[in-house]
């Protein structure tokens, strides 16, 4: 089970991966963003490619070009949603490693907002939940970066977003999460199985996740 399938078990299959944090415009020079580096998503794309998949990587960050990976650049949650909706047609799996904004400014100012004194109110609205919005017959994998009750929060998301697997990590653990090259994750499967993995490189986590969805195991 833990041996990665050799020789391209994802051959002939399309895997869609999202990476990085979305950016929501505040005005022409500013945005609301988050600390996601896109590294985990990039490693997932490489791991899927190495197993023979045709990979569509929908990313918000500039990532090094790599053979066999089609990079689709997006900026906002809305752009990511429409890119995902097109990319998943006929896909075998969707792996949502991106840190998607939950809120965006109701309207981006057309001119640069000028300095003032005192408080400044920015009105926000909810973005669409991509995993909940995108329907289709493909494997669905999500990520959950948590600071509180990891397992309880991740279980709720697994069910609410109808996922096959959620990769949960506590971002307050040193060496895990945002910006780091390593990650300490727990895998929670649809069938209730919970697997705690040790601190691993993001590459190893990616290989492990892709190995879980190789068919015929």
Annotated active-site positions, please? 34
Contact 159, 127 (CB under 8 A): no
Distance of alpha carbon 46 from alpha carbon 40, whole angstroms: 10
Stretch that binds ligand CTP, among 26-34, 38-46, 122-130, 191-199 (CB under 6 A): 122-130
Check the annotation: does 161 bind a ligand: yes
Q: From the list Ca ion, ligand CTP, none, which binds 209 (C-beta under 5 to 8 Å, kind-based)? A: none
Binding-site member from 31, 92, 138, 143 for ligand CTP (CB under 6 A):
143
Check the annotation: does 143 bind a ligand: yes
End-to-end CA, the chain: 7
Binding-site member from 62, 70, 102, 217 for Ca ion (CB under 5 A):
102
Smallest distance from ligand CTP to CB 161, Å: 6
> If binding is defined by CB under 6 A, does position 96 make contact with ligand CTP?
yes
Residues 6+ apart with CB under 8 A from 145: 99, 168, 169, 171, 177, 178
> In Å, how far are 58, 76, 100, 188 from 128, measured between CA atoms?
16, 11, 9, 24
Q: Which residue is nearest to Ca ion (CB)?
A: 102
Q: From the list Ca ion, ligand CTP, none, which binds 164 (C-beta under 5 to 8 Å, kind-based)? A: none
Binding-site member from 55, 77, 188, 210 for ligand CTP (CB under 6 A):
77
Closest to ligand CTP by CB, 54 or 131: 131
Residues 6+ apart with CB under 8 A from 114: none
Check the annotation: does 89 bind a ligand: no
Beta bridge partners of 157: none
Contact 102, 126 (CB under 8 A): yes
Q: Which residues bind ligand CTP (CB under 6 A)?
A: 77, 96, 98, 100, 102, 127, 129-131, 142-145, 157, 161
């Amino acid at each position: 089970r833990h041996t990665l399938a050799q020789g391209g078990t994802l051959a002939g299959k399309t895997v869609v991966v999202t990476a990085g944090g979305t950016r929501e415009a505040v005005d022409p020079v500013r945005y609301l963003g988050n600390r996601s580096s896109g590294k985990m998503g990039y490693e997932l794309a490489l791991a899927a490619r190495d197993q023979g998949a045709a990979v569509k990587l929908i990313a918000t960050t500039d990532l090094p070009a790599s053979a066999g990976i089609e990079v689709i650049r997006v900026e906002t949650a809305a752009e990511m949603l429409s890119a995902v909706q097109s990319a998943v047609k006929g896909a075998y799996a969707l792996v949502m490693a991106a840190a998607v904004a939950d809120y965006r400014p109701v309207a981006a100012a057309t001119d640069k907002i000028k300095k003032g004194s005192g408080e400044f109110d920015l009105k926000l609205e909810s973005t669409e939940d991509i995993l909940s919005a995108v329907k289709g017959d493909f494997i669905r994998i999500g990520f959950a970066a948590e600071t509180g009750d990891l397992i309880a929060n991740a279980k709720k998301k697994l069910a609410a977003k109808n996922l096959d697997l959620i990769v949960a990590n506590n971002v307050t653990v040193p060496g895990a999460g945002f910006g780091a090259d390593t990650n300490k994750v727990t895998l929670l499967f649809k069938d209730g199985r919970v697997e705690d993995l040790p601190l691993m490189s993001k590459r190893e986590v990616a290989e492990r996740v892709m190995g879980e969805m190789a068919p015929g195991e």
